[in-house]
Every structure is written in structure tokens, then in C-alpha cells.
Structure 1
Amino acid sequence: MSNIGMIIEERSRDIGDFLVGRLIPFRKKRMIGPFIFIDHMGPTTVGPKHYMDVDQHPHIGLSTLTYLLEGEILHEDSLGTKQRIRPGSVNWMVAGKGVSHSERTPEALRNGSVFTMHGYQIWVALPKTLEDSMPEFHHIPAEALPRWTEGTADFTLVAGQGYGHESPVPVHSPLFMLEIKNTEEFQLNTKDHLKGEIGICIVKGAIEACGETVTEGNIVVSKVEDTCNTLLRPNSHILLFGGEPFEEQRHIYWNFVSSDKEKIEQAKTDWEAKTFPMMSNDVSYVPLPGK
């Protein structure tokens, strides 16, 4: 998904072992492991007067991870992919040296029905050696993801490795993303279960960290690896993500990510000239910001 018109609230704060902000990147933390961008979609009502139509737009240097909680999206791209994504499944698109895609409400749902759209669009930066790789697309159904229960909490490993499990999503660097839902108060222990930087996105409910309560809509970022235990309040829903950070800085402009600013400038030129890889079945076009 494009981050056109995205506004990131600059309200980050320090609470001891953690930083707290709304989505990433935010002022005090640009990346969490290889995760460079998280966009919270909804929840919003979709229907005859408001369908989802994200026109054709480009990406380089990253993988997009689409994870829905409610609703459906039709993904199409310049590789020729046409894939509906439903709640719990994963769309994993590796942009590499360049790919274009669109995301829309499927035609089958444009029948007058009204439903809720809710989910997350996540960008994972590629290792420097793979920034110019050939684009790929992978769809992993919900039933293929590892799931388990600890106490009153249900775990799903969306991507990467954690807690002795491995997701079938073909990631390119050491990382993790988990979905956790609990019914009663639950003490979350990540020590020795996850490697690298750790972020906690609170979808619903609240958590207690370092003696403070953090509510839904925020992301909590540990400033140290193997962070202290975190208490999940009853009936909470979180996404846990992170991993090993890269040595090199990543630059981001619009939908382009790279360790090399010149590659971003070239992508901008190619997109304006429409020499960028384009979809064969979609003439829509999102111009560069400000154009």
C-alpha cells in the first residue's frame, strides 16, 4: 500500500526501558529491526459509497507484508499476480529492484454489501545485498501459520522465527512478527524466545511496561534486547515484531527504500518517465508526491 497522505503523530516518549510512539517511523525511532514502516488500516466501514481503491504505485528495496484482521483486499502487481487476501493470511511481496501494484476491494464484494476493513500494511527493508533482487510474490494461507496457546494467550507466528517455531513466509533476514490475543491477564515473556529489537503494537486493550500503562493505537519499542516481562491486560490483542537491525542506514522516500540515495533518485526518475515496471492490466497511476 502507498503511504500517500500518511501523517505520523510525533508523540513519542521515553518510559525507561521502552520508547512509546504511534506507528513507525516516529521521531525517536526510525526502524525496529528491519521493519521500516507500519500503516494501520482502519477499522473502517467499506461499502457502496466507500470502496478501497489504491491505484498502481511503485516500490523498491523492501518487502510488503499485508495482514488483515477483517475484510478482504484484491492484490494485483506487475508480476502478473492476482490474489485475494483474507483475514489471517499473509501477502508477502518482495519489491527488490522494482515492482508496481494496486490494492482494491474485490469485484465480488462490490455488490451493495457493507463490511469492515481492518488490518496492517507493513514494510520490511531488504538486506543491502538483495535490494536489487528480482521481485517476487508469495501468498501464505492462514492455516499454514504456526499457532499455539500459552496460558490464556493464543499465539500466531506471522513471519520469521520465535518461541521455537518458524513461519513459512520466506523472509530475507532474522526477524519475527507474532499476533497474540489473551482473555485474562497474561505475563508475556520474550527473553530467549525472540532475537533482536522488539516492538509491541497494541491493536486492542492495553499493556503494562516499566510501571506504565500503554493503550491501543501505540507501539512500544524496547531499548534493549531481551526486554523485561510485559503484562497484557485482559482481552488485549497485540502484534509483536522486530529482529536484527541492519548495519547500514536506510533512506526512505514515498514508497522507495534503499541504503543508496542514488537508487531512490533513479526510481523517482523511472516512475515519472513510466519506464518503471508497470502492470499490464491497469492504467491507473499515482504520481510522485507534489507532482
Structure 2
Amino acid sequence: MSNTDLIIPQRSRDIGDFLVGRFIPFIHKKMVGPFSFIDHMGPVDVKPDRPFDVDQHPHCGLSTLTYLLDGEIMHRDSIGTVQRIKQGSVNWMTAGKGVTHTERSPDDLRGKSYKMNGFQIWVALPKELEEMEPSFHHIPAEDLPTWEDGGASFKLIAGEGFGKISPVPVHSELFMMEISTTEDYLLEINGQLKGEIGILIETGSITACGNTVDAGNMLISKTDDACNLQIVGGSRIMLFGGPPFPERRYIDWNFVSSSKEKLEEAVERWNNREFPEVPGDSTYVPHPKNKS
């Protein structure tokens, strides 16, 4: 199967009250550039009696990127960060050697109804940075590069592309951007992005290489052989990717590493409660293999 012909349908799974569409990892394509995992949260209506609550859980060997299209989340982590993420802003947490965090409905939204829609993304770290100290950065929506072209609006969420640079402090060459259209728009990708390209259709549809791809699907291509995209008016798509790492990456639950041994060590550390904890939070999400 050639990369230009690889179209990945959204596969749904349940996490409590939320339906999540997972795009990668996929059996035919484990990563796109350094991106190792993408979950689509929603769209869903959060109910007054069922707030959004993700208890304390760990990460290592990666950076998490949270980007909301609708709704708000309160983030807390073992570094001591307390940060509310709103629509259009970016939470960028680098786990490095190990971090834990929680994600919950903000206190003032608990007991209320509101819409939640967004993306949870993992970006693998370069091999030499997998054991770096954890860090956290929040970038407000107004600090991200935005521009208009014809009937399309662009936002560069992370990395570099189309001659722009995002302030998100990434650790490798990559790009992630949002494109929304009010009318049909021809997107010319060649020469604008570096590395592998993932094209995720959130709403609407696109036409690429003579094929129409609808919302809920992801198409993968490469810069040097990418077709131009015809984006239907009223669509919203996400482009992401970058040059792949020279080494393979392995995934076990919330951990990513170039070493299977390090993954095993991370699982053992979490099972033994040796990860740092979120201040004031005693919740604990067990490794899936340890759930009764």
C-alpha cells in the first residue's frame, strides 16, 4: 500500500461517557512524522451530572498537545501546573522521564451543560531527549499565527509551515495546523510543509488525487508527492506531521519510547506508585493489564 493511497477511517471507542475517534496508531501506519497518537474528543455535550473527569495518569517519552475546538478543561500535573485550557489555545506538556496529570471540568462549569470537542495528541521525543526533565507550556489562542487566503482561514498550532513559526516550544521538526473554509478552496501543499503529512477531516470533505474523503477520516501523504487538496466550503481540516525519526518507537499504554526495556521500566514504576503525583490528588488510574 503506497503512502499516497493510505486513507485511515476514524475508529470509535468508548471512555466512559465519551466517544473517542482514534486515528493513529493504525495497523498500517504507526506514526506520522513524530506524531504517535491522536484522539478526537467529541463533539459531545457534557451533562450537569457527568462532568469531564480524567483521573491521575502517567506519561513518559513524549509531549502531549491538547487543542480544543469547543469547551474548557482544567489541567493539573505533578510539576505543579494548574492551567485552564480554552478553545483555540494550546497546552503543551513534555513528559520526558515521567509526569502525571489530571484533566477535569473547571469548577465553575461543573453542574452545567456545555459542548466538548477537541484533540488529544502525543508527539514522541527525539531519542536523546526521552529522559529530559518534565515541563509545561500554555500558549493562548491569540499568540498563535493566523492568516486568511481566499475562502480559507489558517492557524499554525505547532511547529513550522507556510513560512510561519508557532511559539509552542517543540523538540523536533514538525507541524500542526487548522484550516477552515467558507467556500471551496484549492490548498497547494507542495513546498510548504516538511516531512510526512497527515490530513484529518474534522468536518466537511476534501478531494485529493481524484478521491473524495469525508469527515471522520485521515489521509496520509508526503511532501514530495502530495497532491493539491480541494477543500469543500464549510470544512475544517487539520494538517500535521514532519520528518520521521530514524529509530522505531514503541507504545505501551501512555508511554512511548525507542526502547522496549524503558517501557517495561515505566510500567513497573507506575505499578509500584513511583511516579511523581499531582499535588493534592490521590486518584490513580491502573495500567490496563492490572484492571480487575
Q: TM-score range by the shorter chain?
A: over 0.9
**Quick check: 2:54–2:104 contact (8 Å CA) kept in 1?**
yes
The one-letter code matched in structure 2 to 1:20 is I
What's the offset of the Cα at 1:212?
1.1
Name the structure 1 match of 2:164.
165
What's the offset of the Cα at 1:259?
0.1
What's the offset of the Cα at 1:26?
1.0
Name the structure 2 match of 1:146.
145
Name the structure 2 match of 1:238.
237
Name the structure 1 match of 2:254.
255
Name the structure 2 match of 1:32.
32
1:142-195 deviations in whole A, cap 9, x for unaligned?
000000011110000000000110000000111000000011111111111100
Q: Distance in 1 between matches of 2:59 and 2:3?
A: 36
Name the structure 1 match of 2:15.
none
Name the structure 2 match of 1:48.
48
Is 1:124 aligned to residue 123 of structure 2? yes
CA change 1:172–1:72 in 2 (3 A) is: same
Q: Distance in 2 between matches of 1:239 and 1:266?
A: 34
Q: Distance in 1 between matches of 2:177 and 2:119?
A: 13
**Quick check: 2:64–2:122 contact (8 Å CA) kept in 1?**
yes
**Quick check: 1:197–1:225 contact (8 Å CA) kept in 2?**
no
The one-letter code matched in structure 2 to 1:288 is H
Q: Distance in 2 between matches of 1:16 and 1:118?
A: 29
What's the offset of the Cα at 1:226?
4.8
SS in 2 for 1:43: strand
Map 1:105-116 onto structure 2 (within 5 A). Answer: 105-110=105-110, 112-116=111-115
SS in 2 for 1:57: strand
Mean Cα displacement is larger for which, 170-179 or 45-54? 45-54
Q: Distance in 2 between matches of 1:62 and 1:101?
A: 14
Q: Distance in 2 between matches of 1:31 and 1:181?
A: 25
1:217-238 deviations in whole A, cap 9, x for unaligned?
1110015635110110111100
What's the offset of the Cα at 1:290?
2.3
The one-letter code matched in structure 1 to 2:149 is E
**Quick check: 2:93–2:136 contact (8 Å CA) kept in 1?**
yes
Q: Distance in 2 between matches of 1:175 and 1:70?
A: 24
Q: Distance in 2 between matches of 1:224 and 1:194?
A: 6
1:64-102 deviations in whole A, cap 9, x for unaligned?
000000000000000000000000000000000000000
Q: Distance in 1 between matches of 2:157 and 2:90?
A: 7
SS in 2 for 1:271: helix
Name the structure 1 match of 2:97.
97
TM-score by length of structure 2 reads 0.93
CA change 1:222–1:133 in 2 (3 A) is: same
Name the structure 2 match of 1:181.
180
The one-letter code matched in structure 2 to 1:137 is F
What's the offset of the Cα at 1:25?
1.0
Name the structure 1 match of 2:66.
66
Match of 2:4 among 14, 17, 21: 17
**Quick check: 2:189–2:223 contact (8 Å CA) kept in 1?**
no
Q: Distance in 1 between matches of 2:175 and 2:260?
A: 27
What's the offset of the Cα at 1:16?
7.5
**Structure 2 spans left out of the alignment, 5+ residues:** 11-22
Q: Distance in 2 between matches of 1:204 and 1:15?
A: 25
SS in 1 for 2:288: coil
Q: Distance in 2 between matches of 1:133 and 1:28?
A: 30
CA change 1:251–1:16 in 2 (3 A) is: closer
1:88-142 deviations in whole A, cap 9, x for unaligned?
00000000000000000011111x3211000000000000000000000000000
After TM superposition, where is structure 1 displaced by more than 2 Å over at least 4 residues in a row?
14-18, 223-226
1:231-281 deviations in whole A, cap 9, x for unaligned?
101111000000010000000000000001111111111101101122221
Q: Distance in 1 between matches of 2:25 and 2:3?
A: 20
The one-letter code matched in structure 2 to 1:225 is D
Percent identity of paired positions between Structure 1 and Structure 2: 58
